[in-house]
Amino acid sequence: MNFEKISILGLGYIGLPTASMFAYHGVQVYGMDVNPKVLEALNQGRLHIHEPGLLEFVHNVINNGKLVVNDFVCPSDAFIIAVPTPFYGEKLADLSYVKNAAEAIVPHLKKGNLVVLESTSPPLTTQNILVPILEKSGLKAGEDFLLAYSPERVLPGQILRELVENARVIGGINSESAQAGKDLYKIFVKGEIITTTAATAEMVKIMENTYRDVNIAIANEFSRLSERFGVDVWEAIKIANLHPRVNILNPGPGVGGHCISVDPWFFVESAPDLTKLILAARQVNDSQPDFVVNQVEKILGNLQNKKIAVLGLAYKPDVDDLRESPAIDIVTKLSKLGAFVTAFEPFKLDFDLKYGQMAQNLGDAIKETDLILVLVAHSEFKNIDLVKLKNLSNTNVIYDAVNIWDKPKLEDLGFQIFKLGVSEL
């Protein structure tokens, strides 16, 4: 199949790099987003998200006219849906964005078109949700138009490279749809492209993230067990991972982001009778912020009027993504217990923190505080000169939830350092 014009609905972390990549490879791309701020930023030559290398890339294709952004859908050979799939209420999948995007395609759908859903979605979404909406066009799915599901598995911070190099799975509602999806993505994908059914591709994506979630949960439990038994979990994991068939992940203050903390709920919602382990893992990871807050209380006692400097709010190191971040949860909980929290997030200085205040630099965050609480292992924090850290702050108490700094070194400098998974308090 040939693709001269492609529409991408949703210009976020996934849609914008994907749109730019197709445009860079010579396809005429129409990017569509419902958020006026996204379009305004792009039209002014700015980006609403942080991703290394993306700004120049987007500039290039907007300037040469290969990427055009709009708030409406344009007729195209293929339509890609890359809108959010968050959860709502009791951790239920919110498919309203996917449904709205599909509805917006209906008036433009023509015979021979291909529609691809990229948004992470519960099993059978393509067949049970998208087919009925798209068939409102009067066209038959799999015959008049083709329909596939292709999940995105890129790593934020490495999106432009991984989009091209990663293996990509494309599941069709029939084999013609899967093949058309393969024809589309081979425009830029250099990794292996595997075709399968839409339901398999949906499962693959959620299985990957659930696998990671369960493994982080076990690392978090190991950290609690290590504290109980007077063991340093970081050392124990390092040694255990020397075993050729063991790869334990790192414990931490919880699991966040748009994927790992969300996707396992899609399984729990779809099949509650079959997901006891997955649910337990989610509960362990979701309780980790409370665990950290409890540790801080044990160090500082009553938190009323205590000052706490939080380093890092992102859900993982070196990204500006704060969605579902456990660090925000921890800040909220500390503030509600009466603490004054000052947070420093180098990737999002202007973040509108509901509870607590934002510092514009490290010095301002830690200069007057009762405790430095490290929640994200940003490189900027990792590489800090510890003597400088000592000079910048009035406190000598640190709680490190991500094993970022060397304990003996800090102790030599006169710090009292507590680490997640090391010290039973």
Ligand X SMILES: NC(=O)c1ccc[n+]([C@@H]2O[C@H](COP(=O)([O-])OP(=O)(O)OC[C@H]3O[C@@H](n4cnc5c(N)ncnc54)[C@H](O)[C@@H]3O)[C@@H](O)[C@H]2O)c1
- 34 vs 204, beta carbon nearer ligand X: 34
Binding span for ligand X by CB under 6 A among 149-157, 286-294, 352-360, 409-417? 149-157
Q: For residue 178, which amino acid is it?
A: A
Which of 66, 182, 205, 407 is labelled catalytic?
Answer: 205
Instruction: Select the residue whose beta carbon is closest to ligand X and give its number.
Output: 12
By the rule CB under 6 A, 97 interacts with ligand X: yes
* Candidate list 66, 182, 259, 316, residue with the active-site label: 259
Asked if 202 is part of the footprint of ligand X (rule: CB under 6 A), the reply reads: no
Residues sharing a CB contact under 8 Å with residue 264, sequence separation 6 or more, in sequence order: 206, 209, 210, 213, 214, 275, 278, 281, 282
In the residue annotation, 276 being an active-site residue is answered as no
Binding part of the chain for ligand X, among 4-12, 232-240, 381-389, 395-403 by CB under 6 A, reads: 4-12
Q: How far apart are CA 364 and CA 320, in angstroms?
A: 20
> In the complex with ligand X, which residue's Cβ is closer, 107 or 301?
107
- Looking at the Cβ atoms of 101 and 169, the one nearer to ligand X is 101
Min CB(386)–ligand X separation in Å: 32
Locate 90 and state its tokens: 């009791």
Residue partners of 325: CB distance under 8 A and separation at least 6: 256, 257, 313, 314, 315
For the chain, the farthest-separated pair of C-alpha atoms sits apart, in whole angstroms, at 74
Residue 175 touches ligand X, criterion: CB under 6 A: no
DSSP-assigned states of every residue in 307-375 = EEEEE--SSSTT----TT-HHHHHHHHHHHTT-EEEEE-TT-TT---SSSEE-SSHHHHHSS-SEEEE-
Of 3, 7, 11, 237, the one binding ligand X (CB under 6 A) is 11
Q: Is residue 13 close enough to count as binding ligand X by CB under 6 A?
A: yes
Q: Site residues for ligand X, window 107-126 (CB under 6 A)?
A: 118-120
Query: Could you tell me if residue 108 is left (phi over 0), alpha (psi between -120 and 50 degrees) or otherwise beta?
Result: alpha
Q: Which of 83, 147, 300, 311 binds ligand X (CB under 6 A)?
A: 83
Nearer to ligand X, 13 or 399 (CB): 13
**How many residues sit close enough to ligand X to count as binding (CB under 6 A)?**
28
Q: How many CA atoms lie within 13 A of 68 on its CB side?
A: 14
The single residue among 82, 296, 303, 410 that binds ligand X, judged by CB under 6 A, is 82
State which residue, 11 or 401, has the beta carbon closest to ligand X: 11
One residue of 5, 68, 100, 162 binding ligand X per CB under 6 A:
100
User: Does 67 sit near ligand X (CB under 6 A)?
Assistant: no
* 74 in catalytic set: no
191 scored as a contact of ligand X (CB under 6 A): no
**Residue 95 binds ligand X, judged by CB under 6 A:** no
Question: What residue type is 228 in one-letter code?
Answer: R
**Are the beta carbons of 67 and 26 closer than 8 angstroms?**
no
Window of 106-114, 152-160, 164-172, 342-350 that interacts with ligand X by CB under 6 A? 152-160
Q: What tokens does 44 get? A: 């002014």
10 binds ligand X (CB under 6 A): yes
**Bridge partners for 419 per DSSP:** 400
- Please check whether residue 48 is in contact with residue 9, taking contact to mean a CB–CB distance below 8 angstroms: no
Sheet arrangement for strand 371-374: 357-358, 340-344, 307-311, 371-374, 397-400, 416-419
Contacts of 142 (CB under 8 A, 6+ apart): 173, 174, 176, 177
**Considering the rule CB under 6 A, would residue 129 count as an interface residue with ligand X?**
no
Q: How far is the CB of 197 from ligand X (least distance, A)?
A: 19
Q: x/- contact string, 212-251, with ligand X (CB under 6 A)? A: ----------------------------------------
Choose one: 100-108, 122-130, 211-219, 374-382; the region binding ligand X (CB under 6 A).
100-108
DSSP label at 145? B
Q: Which CB atom, from 326 or from 356, has the smaller least distance to ligand X?
A: 326
Query: Does 8 contact ligand X by CB under 6 A?
Result: no
Residue 127 DSSP one-character state: I
Phi and psi, residue 331, nearest 5°: -60, -45
Q: Is 264 in the site for ligand X (CB under 6 A)?
A: no
Nearer Cβ to ligand X (5/224) = 5
Phi, psi of 287 (to 5 degrees): -90, -5
Which residues sit at the interface with ligand X, rule CB under 6 A? 9-15, 32-35, 38, 82-85, 97, 100-101, 104, 118-120, 152, 154, 156, 258-259
Catalytically active residues are: 205, 259
